[in-house]
Each structure stands twice: as structure tokens, then as C-alpha cells.
Amino acid sequence: MSVAIKLEDLSLGYGSDLAVSKVDASIDDGSLTAIIGPNGAGKSTLVKGIAGILTPVEGKISIFGERNECLAYLPQQSEIDRSFPICVSNLVAMGLWSQIGAFGALGKKDLARIAEALAAVGLTGFERRSIDTLSGGQFQRVLFARMLLQDANLILLDEPFSAIDLKTMADLIQIILGWHREGRTVAVVLHDHEMVKAHFPDTFMIASFLIRRLMS
Ligand code: ADP
Ligand code: MG
């Protein structure tokens, strides 16, 4: 199996503080990986590094394969500003940016794809709702609809189920499993060990400057 992401002697941090130190690891193409570890272990920092938001202090992050260059990244909910005045339909349409350009007009086909993505996350009829009126679970569904349209081959999700109702969690895990079945590479930061055991073939554990590959 070919490698999608390779981390070599990787250290990441903020100013002079290291949050991730000397990590060597790889994630295979088409794998479904849970990234687990205690609070503050550096899970979000690691995912931001892979997403290209943080530059390594030391070491190297390599993303292989042309199809993996344009990855999808979902930050932790706490890091997302929901006060921006935008309706559900327009937020989901951002998933099409790489295909039609930021200022491209949406055609009939695009509108149909937006409707299809909203239907897939159970939000038909929410098109014109402002995002600040949604519950946490509904908002997460909208972000998943946007990722469905983004159609990325490499998908990174940071605690997608924290503060989310059980029904939403059950629906969204099915979308993640669908991405895995389609052969995409998916890595998800999680803290629910039952979910990890039930659905995730690969696990990375990151714990205070250590990352270890576990077999499950
Ligand atoms: P996790 O996601 O595993 O809970 P994080 O990657 O968020 O851990 O944080 C790892 C360490 O980096 C923690 O000590 C945290 O306080 C620190 N940290 C995270 N974000 C920042 C930031 N923007 N500025 C400074 N330190 C940060
Ligand atoms: Mg985190």
C-alpha cells in the first residue's frame, strides 16, 4: 500500500513552546485512522501541521500523490467563528470553490449538487437559514455537506463529534465510513474509545511528545 502522509522527525509548536516533538509516522493511502491521546497532547497541532496551517519547527511533513494536495480540513468546533452572517446554502457552496473559483457563478448543476449534499446530511429545507441560528449538530452537518462537495481525497477531521447529539454523530460517522469505502484517506481526532474500536482500523496514539502506532 502506498503512503499518503509521512512525518519525519517532526516537531511543531507555538513560539518557543513545542507541542509535538520528534514524531515519525506515516498514514497509508486509503486508510481510516483515529488520532487519539489526552487533552493537550498535541493532536490538533499535529493535524494543523498536516493541513499546512503550521510550519514545522523541525523535521518534515510529506504529502504524496497529486490527488492528496488539495486536502479537506475540519477544525475543532471551538475554533470556528459562527458569527459570520452567511446562509447554509452559501457556506456549503464554498465546497465548490476549487472547482468553480471563489467568484464563479453557481450554475443549475451546482445548485443541484448543493441540494444533494444537504439532503445527504439531513438538512433539506435549511438552505436559507443563517448559520448562527443552527444547533451545534446542525452546524456540523452543514460543514460535512461542504466537505462532500469539496470532494477531497485526503480528509482531516479534528474532534468532529464533540458537543454533538447522538443522532448527528451516528449520521456523520456513516459519511466518514462512506469516504473510506470510496478509497479516500481519512484521519480523525477522536476521544470516544468505543467509536474508535467500532469503526477505525488504524489508530495513532499521541501522548506527551510520543506518537505510537497501535494495532487494533
Ligand atoms: P490537543 O488537541 O491534543 O488537546 P493541542 O494540539 O491543542 O492539543 O495543544 C498542544 C499544546 O499546545 C498544549 O500545551 C496547548 O496549550 C498548546 N497550544 C495549542 N494551541 C496553541 C496556540 N495557539 N498558542 C500557544 N500554545 C498552544
Ligand atoms: Mg485538540
pLDDT at residue number 102: 63
Gap from CA of 42 to ligand 1 centroid (Å): 6
Nearest CA to ligand 1 atom 12: 19
pTM of the model: 0.92
User: Long-range CB contacts (< 8 A, 24+ apart) of 167-170?
Assistant: 167/137, 168/137, 168/138, 168/140, 168/141, 169/195
Gap from CA of 95 to ligand 1 centroid (Å): 28
Gap from CA of 105 to ligand 2 centroid (Å): 36
Q: In Å, how far are 21, 37, 67, 196, 213 from 193, measured between CA atoms?
A: 24, 10, 31, 5, 15
* pLDDT tens string 81-108: 888 889 999 999 999 987 877 667 788 9
Q: Best mutation site among 10, 11, 14, 16 for ligand 1, i.e. most ligand atoms within 8 A of its Cβ?
A: 14
